[in-house]
Amino acid sequence: MKYIGRFAPSPTGPLHFGSLIAALGSYLQARHRGGKWLVRIEDLDPPREVAGASDLILATLERYGFEWDGEVWYQSRRHAIYLEVLAGLAHNGLSYRCGCSRKQVAEQQQRQGLPPGVYPGTCRRQQASPHRRHAIRLNTEGQRVGFLDAVQGAIEQDVEHEVGDFVLRRADGLFAYQLAVVVDDAAQGITEIVRGSDLLDSTARQIALQRLLGDPTPSYLHLPVVVNELGQKLSKQTFAPPLAMDNPLPALVLALRFLGQQPPGELLEGDVASFWRWAFANWNATAIPRTLALPLPAMPE
């Protein structure tokens, strides 16, 4: 099977150094394997989106020398597909309507001695009426998942008891990330998912959903995420500065070093094309640090 990788940012703001790590790692892995690299805009949550962010993300990727294959996918254009998948899950008894409020879930968790975030299964036993406001949850009964991550090693999770029945469609009608990412990765034929370790905990539930849908499970490679001086993951919420558009080379070289590669200092004196020639020829995924997070390094001068 030909290798197909992807980079799937959310248009909640401009790309920052943490975004660059995910883009660079996935891009180099795809090109090293002689495969395709796709770009998908995960615009599932309109209230969190920033006007013009999608175009800015694509412009930044182009400025930094990334070249994607095929057309860019937008999840906002795929709602009909997600509805079909939800209907199939419901028909097969694999999902159910949940009318629980956050307060009710928290109270049930406390009564049952469950950790925060684990759904207590209230509506699995008697699902909510279709005529009242409700979310759609996946029935995870009996779902235990183990997989081998190319960087982080062996991972196991009892999805039913450590996560619970997770949401596929929110009560406000928006589709959940867990549903859309699984459906689209299968539709695009993704063979390996290279992304940040902040999504490592989501992987087992995505594999559980893949199994229930009869979709193939791709390989996984979770990169360390970048954290600031407070130990917070770089993100829009932690005010990560956007990538500079005037000179991409310092950030590109720094990102390579963050991923355990050893680019020579003279790359900073060249151009973006020479950077990519060196990166393609010398990419070594086995050198990526086996850790979930690393501090933001100093920018080379």
Is 38 in the same domain as 174?
no
Is 274 in the same domain as 228?
yes
Is residue 137 scored above 80 in pLDDT? Answer: yes
Is 49 in the same domain as 99?
no
Asked if residue 300 belongs to a domain, the reply is no
Is 173 in the same domain as 91?
yes
Is 144 in the same domain as 88?
yes
Asked if residue 268 belongs to a domain, the reply is yes
Is 15 in the same domain as 142?
no
pLDDT band per the 50, 70, 90 thresholds, residue 165: very high
At 91, which CATH number? 3.40.50.620
The reported pLDDT for the residue numbered 230 is: 81
Domain of 243, in residue numbers: 4-76+189-295
Q: Tell me what the mean pLDDT of segment 261-285 comes to.
A: 95
Q: What domain count does the chain have?
A: 2
pLDDT digits (tens, 9 = 90+) for 64-89: 999 999 999 999 999 999 999 999 99
Q: Tell me what the mean pLDDT of segment 164-184 comes to.
A: 97
The reported pLDDT for the residue numbered 116 is: 82
Asked if residue 85 belongs to a domain, the reply is yes
Q: Which among 180, 211, 228 is the end of a domain? A: 180
pLDDT digits (tens, 9 = 90+) for 20-65: 999 999 999 999 999 999 999 999 999 999 999 999 999 999 999 9
The reported pLDDT for the residue numbered 1 is: 73
Is 45 in the same domain as 140?
no
Asked if residue 301 belongs to a domain, the reply is no
- Look-up: residue for tokens 């689209």? 184
Bridge-based pairing of strands 73-74 and 36-41 is: parallel
Is 228 in the same domain as 277?
yes
H/E stretch holding 260 reads: none
Asked if residue 238 belongs to a domain, the reply is yes
Please state at what angle helix 79-91 crosses helix 177-187, rounded to 10 degrees: 100
β-sheet bridge partners, residue 4: 36
Is 196 in the same domain as 122?
no
Q: Which of 250, 298, 255, 256 is nearest to 271 (CA)?
A: 250
Is 194 in the same domain as 291?
yes
Q: What's the sign of the alpha-carbon dihedral 266, 60, 224, 230?
A: positive
Asked if residue 244 belongs to a domain, the reply is yes
pTM reported for the whole predicted model: 0.94
Asked if residue 15 belongs to a domain, the reply is yes
Please state at what angle helix 272-282 crosses helix 249-258, rounded to 10 degrees: 20
The reported pLDDT for the residue numbered 20 is: 97
Q: Which among 180, 205, 228 is the end of a domain? A: 180
Q: Could you tell me where the DSSP H helices lie in the chain?
A: 17-32, 53-63, 79-91, 102-112, 122-125, 159-162, 177-187, 200-213, 249-258, 272-282
CB-CB contact of 155 with 200 (8 Å): yes
CB-CB contact of 293 with 227 (8 Å): yes
Q: Tell me what the mean pLDDT of segment 226-234 comes to.
A: 86
Q: Tell me what the mean pLDDT of segment 143-157 comes to.
A: 97
Q: Supply the mean pLDDT for the chain.
A: 94
Phi-psi region of 166 (alpha: psi -120 to 50; beta: other; left: phi over 0): beta
Is 143 in the same domain as 278?
no
CB-CB contact of 122 with 100 (8 Å): yes
pLDDT band per the 50, 70, 90 thresholds, residue 292: very high
Is 153 in the same domain as 232?
no
Which residue type is seen at 55?
A: D
The reported pLDDT for the residue numbered 234 is: 82
Number of DSSP helices (H) and strands (E) in the chain, helices first: 10, 12
Question: Which is higher by pLDDT, 301 or 131?
Answer: 131
The reported pLDDT for the residue numbered 301 is: 58
- From residue 289, how far is each of 2, 167, 182, 218, 257 by CA, in Å? 26, 32, 27, 22, 10
- Look-up: residue for tokens 């063979």? 191
Q: Which among 153, 180, 207 is the end of a domain? A: 180
- From residue 63, how far is each of 24, 206, 246, 280 by CA, in Å? 13, 33, 9, 18
Cα separation of 272 and 115, whole Å?
48
Asked if residue 157 belongs to a domain, the reply is yes
